[in-house]
Amino acid sequence: MAKLILDGAIVDNQWQRLDADALANGLPDGKVIVPLDYWQSHRQALLERTDVGVCLEPGEEPRDLVDDLEALPLVAIHFPAFKDGRGYSYARELRTRFGFKGEVRAVGDVLRDQLFYMQRCGFNAFEVRADRNIEEALSGLKDFSVTYQGDVNDPRPLYRRA
Amino acid sequence: MYVYQEYDQQLLEERVAQYRDQTRRYLAGELSEDEFLALRLQNGLYIQRYAPMLRISVPYGLLASRQLRRLAHIVRTYDKGFCHVSTRQNIQLNWPAVEEVPDILAELADVQMHAIQTSGNCIRNITTDEYAGVNPREIEDPRPWCEIIRQWSTFNPEFAYLPRKFKIAVNAVADADPALIGVHDIGVQLVHGANGETGFQVWAGGGLGRTPMTGAVIGEFVPWQHLLAYLEAILRVYNKYGNRDNKYKARIKILVKALGADKYRELVEAEFAELKDGPMTLTAEEVDRVKACFTDPDYRTVDTAEVDAKLASDKAFSRWYHTNTRAHKQAGYRAVTLTLKKTGRVPGDITDEELEAVADLADQFSFGELRNSHQQNMVLSDVPADQLYALWQQLDALGFATPNLGLLTDIVCCPGGDLCALANAKSIPVAESIQRRFDDMDYVHDLGALDLNISGCMNACGHHHIGHIGILGVDKKGKEFYQVTLGGRGDKVSLVGEKMGPSFEADEITDVVEKIIHLYVEKRLENEPFIDTYERIGMAPFKERVYG
Ligand code: SF4
C-alpha cells in the first residue's frame, strides 16, 4: 500500500483518489476522494457516507464546500505543480476561516522543500510524490524551529508568544 | 539599525543549513533543474549569461561597516573582487560558484545578512527612502515599519509561491515619493490621522516591467495596529486570483487593473474584516521594541563656521556640497551621497578595497552605518558639518565625490547585456558613452536635475520608465536597438514615461540624448528643470527634433 505522511508520521494511505474517468464506472466502496464537481452532482447520496473526501483543484475554493465541511472527513488540495501556491491560501482558509477539523491533505506535486510551509498553512497529510523518498521528505517538516508569523498551528506571531 | 535577537540569528542559521542541503541534493541529482530553480531563486541565485548571480538582501538599504567589510571579504574570496548596488538597494555578486553559495550564506549569516527572498515569486526586499530617519521632510522614521514588514514577509508560509514577484516599498515623506511607492506592487505611505495617530495609506498594483503603471489607493487609512493584517489581506487576494497561466500577466498590477481598484478593495476589505483585531494585530510593545533599534545616534553640537568659510573659498568643495549632500533633520549634520557614477565606473559597481575604505569612512564620519540608494549610490547619513571637508577630500581620492548626484551623468543603469542573461541589449556602454559626451561638469550642472535611466530589457531593473529620459534596450532581429521614453518621474511623484517613437541603433543613441538636451536648453524658462519643461511643452517638439 502506498505511504503518506500523516500528523508527522509515515503511514499507509487508506484513501483512494479517483478522477472523473475512474468514477465513470461508479463509486467503489471504502475510503475515496472525489473531485469537487462529482461531489456537487452526487452530494445528497455522498452525504450518507462518512468515507468520502473531496479534492479541490486550483481555482476551486473552500467556500465551494462551506455547507459540507461539517460532514466531510477529508479535504484534499491538489498541486498540479508545486509552484502553484493557491493551495496554501485554501488550506489556511479551511482551517482558520471555516474551522475545518478533518484531514487536509496535499496531493500532486508534493515535495520535501515545501512541506514546512504547507504544514504551517494547515495541511496535516502529505502524499509525497511517488518518485521521492518519503522518509527524507519527512525531515522537511522540521526545517525551521523559528517562525516570525503566526500560523494555523499557533496563530500568535512571534511578538505575541514569549 | 535592527538588532538581531537570538531567534533572528537562529533563523538565519537554520536557513543556511536548509539551503546547504538543497544545494547538496541538487548537485547529487536528487532535485531536478526546475525544482532547484524555484529554491535557488528564493535565495537570490540566478544563472546568468556567463556565471550565476547572487543577490544579497540589504533590508531597506541599511548596512553597518562590519557588514561592508564582510561583503568585501566575500567578493574577494568568492567573486572577482567587485559587486553591484542594485536599484532595489541590494548587493549583487556576478561570479559566485553554485557550490560555494552555502558558504557565502554562512559568512553572511555571521554578520546578520542573507539572500532570503531576493528573487523568485515571493515578497522581496522591503525598500524605502535612502535618507530615512534623517530626512527633515519625513513625518516619521519609516525604518521600524520596514523591519516589521520584513519579519512578517520572511518565510511567510502562505506567500512563498505567488503568481509572480512582489515588491513592497514604504514612504514617509508627504509631498514626494523617494521610495517610488507609486510603482511598487504595494506602496505603503505613512500618514497621520486626525489626532496625530500613525496610520498608512496603502497602494497596490503599481509596477514597472512589461505594462508599467502606477498603483491605486486601496486602503485610505489603515491604523498602525492593522498594517500586517491589511497587507496579508491584499496578498491573499492576489495569491488566489492572480494570473498563473501567463507570466506576463501575473503581476498584481494586472489583477488590480482587470478587476478595477474598487472591486479589488472590496475583496481586500472582506479578508481584512476577518483578520482585523485577530492575533496579527501589532502590539505597542513590539512596535516600541523595533523602534528602539532606530533611535538617533549621539549627535553633538557642531560648529559650522569653518565649513562655511571653506564653502565660500573652495569652489570644488562647494559644488560637491551643494550637489552631493542633503539637509538633515539634525542641525549641524548632512547626509552625504557617495556617487558610484564616475565616468569609467560601471554605474553602481564597487570593489572589495573600496568597500573596506567606505566602511572606514562610515566608522570615522557616520556612526558606522551606510545606506544603498535605489539610484545605485551609497549614503553616509549622519556626517557632522565640521567633518565634511575632510570627508570630501577622502571621497575625492577614492573617486566617490563626482558632483553629479541627481544630474544627467548620475545615470541609473542595470547590468544589461554585458552580464544579464535576460538582456536584449547592452546598457553599460550606453551609459558610458553618454557620460563621455557630457563630460563638461559645468554644463551638466547648468542642465540641472535630470534623471536618466537605462534598462537592458523590459524587466526594467534600470527603472527606465521613471527616468525623465528613459532608455530601453530592445532586440530587433538579433540586433540591439534602444527605445527612448520621456517624462517619467520618480521624484515628486512616480510616473511612467511616454514612448518617443521608433527605436535607435546603438551608435545613434547618444546623439539622440544630445538632441533632446539641446531642445530643452532652447525651450526652458529661467531655472526650469528638464521635467517641468517637458510637462509644459509636451512630447511633440522633442519628437520633431529627434526624428525631424
Ligand atoms: S532590465 Fe533586463 S537586462 Fe537589465 S538587469 Fe534587468 S533583466 Fe537584466
- Give the closest of B14, B35, B280 to A157, CB-based: B280
Whether B482 maps to a domain, the answer reads yes
Residues B246 and B353 in one domain: no
Question: Taking CB atoms and an 8 Å cutoff, what residues of chain A touch B244?
Answer: 58, 84, 86
Domains observed in chain A = 3-160 (3.20.20.70)
Q: Is residue B406 a part of any domain in this protein?
A: no
Indicate the SS3 state at residue B483: strand
Q: Is residue B285 domain-shared with residue B151, that is, in the same domain?
A: yes
**Do B509 and B546 touch, CB atoms closer than 8 A?**
no
Q: Does residue B479 sit within a domain?
A: yes
* pLDDT of amino acid B218: 98
Separation of CA B422 and ligand 1 centre (Å): 6
Q: Is residue B403 part of a domain?
A: no
The reply to whether B14 and B36 lie within a common domain is: yes
To probe the interface with A, which of B7, B20, B155 has the most A CB atoms within 10 Å? Answer: B155
Nearest Cα of chain A lies from the Cα of B162 at a distance, in angstroms, of 6
Q: Which chain B residues are closer than 8 Å to A135 by Cβ?
A: none
In a domain, B1, yes or no: no
**Domain CATH code at residue B50:** 3.90.480.20
Residue of chain A nearest B160, judged by CA positions:
A85
What strand order describes the sheet that includes B82-85? B45-47, B52-56, B91-93, B82-85, B349-351
Contacts of A98 (CB under 8 A, 6+ apart): A62, A63, A66, A69
Question: A74: which 3 cell numbers?
Answer: 477529508
Is the pLDDT at A95 greater than 90? The verdict is yes
Of A88, A94, A154, which to mutate for an interface test with B (greatest number of B Cβ within 10 Å)? A88
> Per the structure block, which three cell numbers stand in for B4?
538581531
Pair (B442, B543) in one structural domain: yes
Which atom of ligand 1 is closest in space to residue B462's alpha carbon?
1
Q: What is the distance in angstroms between the Cα of A125 and the nearest Cα belonging to chain B?
A: 16
CB-closest option in B121, B228, B274 to A97? B274
Q: Chain B contact for A80, CB < 8 A?
A: no
In three-state secondary structure terms, B435 is helix
Cα of B434 from ligand 1 centre, angstroms: 19
Task: Indicate yes or no: CB of A145 within 8 angstroms of CB of B154.
Answer: no
B159 to chain A, any CB pair closer than 8 A? The answer is yes
CB atoms near residue A75 (< 10 Å): 24
B283 touches chain A (CB under 8 A): yes
The domain that holds B147 is classified in CATH as: 3.30.413.10
Record the cell numbers describing residue B50, joined without a space: 556567463
Same structural domain, B382 and B479 = no
Which of B158, B165, B271 is the best residue to mutate to test the A interface, defined by the most A CB atoms within 10 Å of its own CB?
B158
Q: Are residues B46 and B178 in the same domain?
A: no
Question: Is residue B29 assigned to a domain?
Answer: yes
Nearest CA in chain A to B15: A144
Residues B193 and B334 occupy one common structural domain: no
Give the separation between CA B473 and CA B471, rounded to whole angstroms. Answer: 7
Kindly state the DSSP code that residue B67 receives in the 8-state scheme: H
Whether A146 has its CB under 8 Å from any CB of chain B: the answer is yes
B115 inside domain? no
Instruction: Kindly state whether residue B298 falls inside one of the protein's structural domains.
Output: no
Note the maximum CA span of chain B.
Answer: 68
Nearest to A121 among B8, B14, B158 (CB): B158
Instruction: Judge if B321 and B271 occupy the same domain.
Output: no
Whether B277 and B173 share a structural domain: yes
Q: Using the 3D structure, point to which of B261, B293, B325 is the last residue of a domain.
A: B293
* Domain encompassing residue B245: 127-293
CB A60 within 8 A of CB A32: no
Whether chain A has a CB inside 8 Å of the CB on B156: the answer is yes
Residues B92, B12 within the same domain: yes
B173 and B245 share a domain? yes
Separation of alpha carbons A91 and A65, rounded Å:
13
Position B410 scores a pLDDT of 97
Of B18, B236, B282, the CB nearest to A89: B236
Q: In this predicted structure, what is the pLDDT of residue B150?
A: 98
Domain boundary among B270, B293, B316: B293
Cα separation of B427 and B515, whole Å? Answer: 20
- What 8-state DSSP symbol labels residue A145? S
Please give chain B's pLDDT, 548 residues, in tens. Answer: 999 999 999 999 999 999 999 999 999 999 999 999 999 999 999 987 777 999 999 999 999 999 999 999 999 999 999 999 999 999 999 899 999 999 999 999 999 999 999 999 999 999 999 999 999 999 999 999 999 999 999 999 999 999 999 999 999 999 999 999 999 999 999 999 999 999 999 999 999 998 999 999 999 999 999 999 999 999 999 999 999 999 999 999 999 999 999 999 999 999 999 999 999 999 999 999 999 999 999 999 999 999 999 999 999 999 999 999 999 999 999 999 999 999 999 999 999 999 999 999 999 999 999 999 999 999 999 999 999 999 999 999 999 999 999 999 999 999 999 988 899 999 999 999 999 999 999 999 999 999 999 999 999 999 999 999 999 999 999 999 999 999 999 999 999 999 999 999 999 999 999 999 999 999 999 999 999 999 999 999 999 999 98
Q: Provide the pLDDT for residue B315.
A: 97
Please give the residue of chain A at the shortest CA–CA distance from B18: A143
Domain count for chain B, please give it: 4
B38 in contact with chain A, both atoms CB, cutoff 8 A: yes
User: Nearest to residue B158, comparing CAs of A101, A96, A133, A5?
Assistant: A96
Among A63, A95, A159, the residue to mutate for chain B (most B Cβ within 10 A): A159
Q: Are B141 and B283 contained in the same domain?
A: yes
Give the end of a domain, one of B398, B429, B461.
Answer: B398
Strands B469-476 and A9-12: what pairing? unpaired
**Ligand 1 neighbours by CB, cut-off 6 Å:** B 414-416, 420, 422-423, 455-457, 459-462
* Cβ-proximal residues to A41 (8 Å cutoff; 6+ apart), any chain: none
Contact between chains at A157 and B7 (C-beta distance less than 8 A): no
Ligand 1 pocket mutation, candidates B411, B457, B471, criterion most atoms within 8 A of CB: B457
Number of other residues whose CB lies within 10 A of the CB of residue A63? 13
Interval between CA B149 and ligand 1 midpoint (Å): 27
SS3 for B53? strand
Closest atom, ligand 1, to C-alpha of B420: 8
Strands A103-108 and A125-126: parallel
